[in-house]
Amino acid sequence: MVKTYGYIRVSTREQNEARQLTALREVEIPARNIFLDKQSGKDFNRPNYQKLLRKLKKDDLLYVKSIDRLGRNYEEIQAQWRLLTKEKGVDIVVLDMPLLDTRRGKDLMGTFLSDIVLQVLSFVAENERVNIRQRQAEGIAAAKAKGVRFGRPPQPLPENFPSVYQRWKDGAITGVAAAAECGLPLSTFRYRAGLFEASNVL
């Protein structure tokens, strides 16, 4: 018996999958057959995609909203498409691109057209992934140039740090004792001591 499945992917936990879910419900896919990953599309090592892959059998039908929801890596999209359609014998429908419906045109010309469209769209998805990374890198570089700091701001030094640091520096106490007096792990005390020393030198 042929089963129908749907696959949804969003890149981060903050993104909303509602648009994809609505599209899959419109083609009446049972909720239990819809698989969702909240993960990057750079590769196919996604838990629910892998679970879906194990469930798919010959002649089953898989729906995705758009090709970039399947993935964003050009070569891996091609490889997965071949795995699904040729090795597993699954049909795929990309809702945003009616030409990518393997149920239609199973003759040579239909397969040829489908392959061309897949290659173009896979390239576009990969190119967009590269562009996103480039824009992120440029944005971070521009922010750093303006003095924006990333990550958590450093905790203020304990009030007794300067005096404890000096005693440690003079060899009056060990690093372990100094760290304990400041209420810091030894590695943190040494790290902050280095920064403290550098700032005083400057």
8 A C-beta contact, residue 129 and residue 160: no
Which amino acid is it at 64? Answer: V
Handedness of CA 183, 185, 188, 193 (dihedral sign): positive
Which of 11, 40, 114, 199 is flagged as catalytic?
Answer: 11
The DSSP bridge pattern shows strands 91-94 and 61-64 to be: parallel
> What is the rounded distance in angstroms from the CA atom of residue 135 to the CA atom of residue 157?
36
> What is the rounded distance in angstroms from the CA atom of residue 120 to the CA atom of residue 5?
25
> What is the rounded distance in angstroms from the CA atom of residue 84 to the CA atom of residue 92?
8
> What is the rounded distance in angstroms from the CA atom of residue 4 to the CA atom of residue 158?
62
For residue 148, what are its two tokens? Answer: 């924006």
For residue 197, what are its two tokens? Answer: 């020393």
- Distance in Å from the first CA to the final CA of the chain: 75
Q: Residue 35 belongs to what H/E stretch?
A: strand 34-38
> What is the rounded distance in angstroms from the CA atom of residue 21 to the CA atom of residue 141?
36
Active-site residue, 11 included = yes
Q: What are the residue numbers of the active site?
A: 11
